[in-house]
Amino acid sequence: MISVKLGAGLAALGLFVSVAGAASAQTPDMKLINGPVYGELRDVLGATLPVATPSAKCPKPLTLPDGACLDRVVAGMKARGATVDRALTGRGVEGGAGAVISGQLGRDFRLYDVSLGAGGPVVTPVDLPSSQVRVPRDCFSIGRGVDYRLDVRDGQLVAREVQSVSCGGPPPPIGYGGPRRPPILAGEPGERWPATGLVAVRGAPRQLAAPRPDCPPDAALRDGVCFAAGIGVLVAQPGLKELDVIGAKRLTAPGQVLTSKETEQYVLKRKGKAGFKADKRWFDKSQLSAPAGCGLTTPVDFEVEPGDRVHERAVAGCGAPAAPPPTATYEAYGATLPVVFGNRQGCAERGEQLLGDACFSEVIRWMKARGVPKGEVLILDRPYGLGTRINGSSGVRYSFADVWANPDGTYKADRKHDYARRIDQGGCATVSDAGSDASGLVLVRADGGVMARAYQWVACPVR
């Protein structure tokens, strides 16, 4: 529901606007104000990686699990004087220059960190997709990760990290055939998001309480878990008032991983001079935080450490945020109600001139015909034509009042400070940055006379 509010204006002549208790019928005919504004598709480049390809004569120390050979990778590193590098291999590398490798790490391609030392190359598989692609701050992710475009440089097959993004707004519609500007190079100036990829996030060690068959009776405080280790910490640190404890619902051993459903959170406290108690936390407390510009993408779990300790862990996604959905700006309308302009001869004699010189005759006639006991009035300084908009920037002088019937059949009006009309436009959001023109009232002809219709600009998703 969207509330349209107009501030109080000045002066006085009558215009009937809304009636309390009347049906709040919504008009379905929205008017397009601005169509969706799309961004521009750009490619952002990252690092250039050597590519390992299959070789029947590969020395065993240089053979990767998938059959690819690091011989050319190592030779290239030695020629450049590099001691560390990252290599790529996977399906599609046989396509050579021009091919694009994409998909899931570990399934469609693999990454290996290679280091050279006196004992020969050391190869470490990369578990989480990561890159050196850093997207400019005014660009957005369009749901694609980092791809690898193959090329040949100095006689060696290499893969260039590249991510397609939308700069300046939502991505263009499917089938967009517009021109693509040159790619954004890694060294270009400007603010950037963190490098695109996933990172493992690890929390600080926390105390563990778990079921133990040899738990001392005075340490089995609740829920069948043993708080002996935590009690030992409080005993050793007299100045520590309480201790944060993670409780395991099953027997544990170092290296095991507990999901959040397999744990409980407690606060271990001192009780009396020599006793202790464990209270459950009402809300889970976490000591885990993602790096700046990143957000957790997996649930938090707990890895058991030696010494009755655990640490939280999760995976965080880093890089440009998802592109906002495209929206179009429409003018949405509320109810239309009768409008009365100007004074009328004999208005005062009929007792229908209220609030100074404003004549409420037509308002009162409308209320009597419909049996409406109380209404809301917009008071204008003079009559205005059809299409006139009444809002904070229109220059129209206005104020508001309630008008109602007294028991003796006369009418009374009280001035008020504002007017509110609820406009229901499900799935759309109020446009709040378009100034005073974005909401108000508009004068229209309907139902045989002049009507006032509430309006509000809304941003609707484009489907």
DSSP 203-238: EEEEEEEB--TT--GGG--BTTBB-HHHHHHHHH-T
CA distance 13 to 49: 77
For 264-327, the DSSP string reads EEEEEEEETTTEEEEEE-SS------PPTTEEE-S--EEEEETTTEEEEEEEEEESSPBPPPPE
Q: What is the largest CA-CA distance in the chain?
A: 112
Contacts of 392 (CB under 8 A, 6+ apart): 6, 7, 436, 440
> Which of 168-182, 197-211, 215-229 is least confident?
168-182
pLDDT tens per residue across span 172-196: 887 776 677 889 998 899 999 999 9
Per-residue model confidence (pLDDT) at position 28: 59
| pLDDT tier, 10 (very low <50, low <70, confident <90, very high otherwise) | very low
Q: Is the pLDDT of residue 346 over 90?
A: no
Contacts of 370 (CB under 8 A, 6+ apart): 19
Per-residue model confidence (pLDDT) at position 367: 84
Q: Hey, what's the torsion of the CAs at 384, 385, 388, 390, to 10 degrees?
A: 20
CA distance 118 to 40: 49
- For residue 35, give the amino acid letter: G
Most confident of 206-210, 356-360, 367-371: 206-210
Residue 22 contacts residue 373 (beta carbons within 8 Å)? no
Q: Which residue has the tokens 């133990």?
A: 212
Nearest to 334 by CA among 12, 32, 5: 5
CA distance 154 to 234: 64
Q: Is the pLDDT of residue 21 over 60?
A: no
Q: Is the pLDDT of residue 223 over 80?
A: yes
HSE toward the beta carbon, residue 300, CA cutoff 13 A: 17
Q: CA angle, 124 as apex, 121 and 125 as ends, to 5°?
A: 140
Q: What is the pTM of this model?
A: 0.74
| pLDDT tier, 345 (very low <50, low <70, confident <90, very high otherwise) | confident
Q: What is the mean pLDDT of residues 74-82?
A: 90
Residue 364 contacts residue 14 (beta carbons within 8 Å)? no
| Phi-psi region at 262: left, alpha or beta (left = phi > 0; alpha = psi -120 to 50) | alpha
DSSP 51: B
Q: Which helix (H) or strand (E) holds 363?
A: helix 361-370
Two structure tokens written together for 456: 């509000």
Mean pLDDT over each residue of the chain, to the nearest integer: 85
Strand 301-305 to 257-258 pairing: antiparallel
- Burial (0-12, 13-18, 19+ Cβ within 10 Å), 188: exposed
- Burial (0-12, 13-18, 19+ Cβ within 10 Å), 189: exposed
CA distance 129 to 317: 10
Helix then strand count (H, E) for the chain reads 3, 32
Per-residue model confidence (pLDDT) at position 344: 74
Q: What is the mean pLDDT of residues 125-139?
A: 95
